[in-house]
Amino acid sequence: MKSKFKLVALIGKYQTFFSNASVASSREALEAVARFLHAQGCEVVLEEDSARNMGLVGYTQLTAQQIGEQCDLGLVVGGDGTMLGIGRQMASYGVPLIGINQGRLGFITDVPYQNFAQTLEPMLHGDYVEDHRSLMNARVLRDGNCVYTAMAMNDVVVNRGAASGMVELRVEVDGHFVANQRADGLIIATPTGSTAYSLSSGGPLLHPSIPGWVMVPIAPHTLSNRPIVLSNSSHIAIEIVAGRDASASFDMQSLASLLHGDRIEVVRSEHHVRFLHPRGWSYFDTLREKLHWNEGVSPS
């Protein structure tokens, strides 16, 4: 049986701070997956930065935009950070993504590299579960002018400066004043991001099917300042009232420096990311594995 996906893009983890051994390991993993895809009748291309930084030759190289325009499937070999980066870029094109994790199981890269072939084969033939993840659009306004825009799959985080005290933030939801919050910062997280920084700051887990966001203060001055779940149709605005060297980060992968009076606005994106999982995949299985639930307890 031929693969349902004819043109497949491979995207690798290629951070410049990797050791030579790590780069070699990632290169070998990409080449192994490429050989498997060829055997399944797929045409394989490489994302150009992955190919260049890993020294891979002999493959057609495409930019992220070209992958979005031309490919039927994206295969990410790496971790959740790699998937976040390419997921945002593929969202507007609707290209589905599968994540192969070389290390520990990820929240969104959930195919273990050790047995990728037996897991991928039925998926390539159409036997998979599709999972859509929402995105946020954010912008920074300064004196009424937009000075920065970004998209986020996990979270938008407003943080205090590293060497300064708390920030004071004026928060509005749908034009309604919520509170002036004094804290180390504030997180607006999607259900996907509810297992990231939001979780470590005391936020709740949100199932991916929930059309909501969670707003979580980071080390608030007032203990009654608690996380709150909001509709993802909300328009959230955060204004910098006081505090030095504040910044806004988007999926912890891009950063904007902020001044007093700057306003960060967050709205739902019209796009979503398409993830494909193996048949039988369960969000709760992933939580149990990653969060070490039931350790030392035999399942009944």
pLDDT digits over 132-173, tens only?
999 999 999 999 999 999 999 999 999 998 777 899 999 999
Burial class from Cβ neighbours inside 10 Å (0-12, 13-18, 19+) for residue 284 reads: exposed
Tokens of 30: 């990409």
Are 45 and 139 in a shared domain?
A: no
Q: Which of 126, 155, 177 is the last residue of a domain?
A: 126
| Number of helical H runs and strand E runs in the chain | 7, 18
Domains in the chain, number: 2
Catalytic residues: 80
Question: Which residue range forms the structural domain that includes residue 262?
Answer: 135-269
Coil/strand/helix, residue 126: coil
Are 209 and 107 in a shared domain?
A: no
- Residue from 249, 267, 258 nearest 157 by CA: 249
In a domain, 284, yes or no: no
Are 147 and 189 in a shared domain?
A: yes
CATH number for position 113:
3.40.50.10330
Is-above-0.85 flag for pTM?
Answer: yes
pLDDT digits over 221-271, tens only?
998 999 999 999 999 999 999 998 999 999 999 999 999 999 999 999 999
DSSP letter (8 states) at residue 113: G
